[in-house]
Amino acid sequence: MEIMLAIVVVAAVIFFGALISMGNERQRRAIDNLREQVVLWAVQDIRIKHERFARDIHIDDPLSWLNKVAGKACGRDLSLQVIEFLEYPRVLLCATGNGDEKIIFTPHSPGEIRSMKRAKQNRLDKYTDRNPLLSLPLGAIRYECSVLTNGVLFDLELPLVWKELTGIGGSEMNMIWMYFVS
């Protein structure tokens, strides 16, 4: 009799454990579905805001905007001055207000720069091409500037600023890299 009672108790525990487990799984799926719906809503909300703001965005002083972005990245005011723009690879070369440092702004990531350096070049190109991005030292201080670090409208403002400062459109740009060169 005691054995029969023990078997019934064990069976009841297993049965209720299975019921609880199934209920937990159903709740987990419901929570995952809810989380997915919230993410889709947030993405759609951002798209709607982007559409609305895209028509109204105007940058009065592109260099001031670039100074603000650079200041957020490195934590200090740089008082940037544009020196030159090089088209391949795309580089906007700036100097700080005191002239001690040069800063390279480019859409090219460190990995892309390494692959550009590794690419075979004509021996004469080495002497004619003076792009500072290709002679960037390995330990150069770098910062990534994107929507995550500079605000929701960064990806809408960056192409406008890039076009104003360089004369060449950057419509596909949504982030920019900042490299410090001494």
Give the mean pLDDT of 49-68. Answer: 81
Given CA atoms 70, 89, 85, 62 in this order, what sign does their dihedral have? negative
CB-CB contact of 108 with 142 (8 Å): no
Domain definitions of the chain by residue range: 1-56, 62-181
Write down the pTM of the prediction: 0.66
- Find the range with the poorest average confidence among 2-6, 58-62, 121-125: 121-125
**What distances in angstroms separate CA 96 from CA 5, 80, 86, 146, one per listed residue?**
84, 5, 18, 21
Q: Look up residue 36 and give its two tokens.
A: 């997915």
Q: Give the pLDDT band of residue 53 (cuts 50, 70, 90).
A: confident
pLDDT at residue 144 is higher than 70: yes
pLDDT tens track for 85-129? 887 788 888 888 777 888 888 888 887 877 777 765 655 455 445
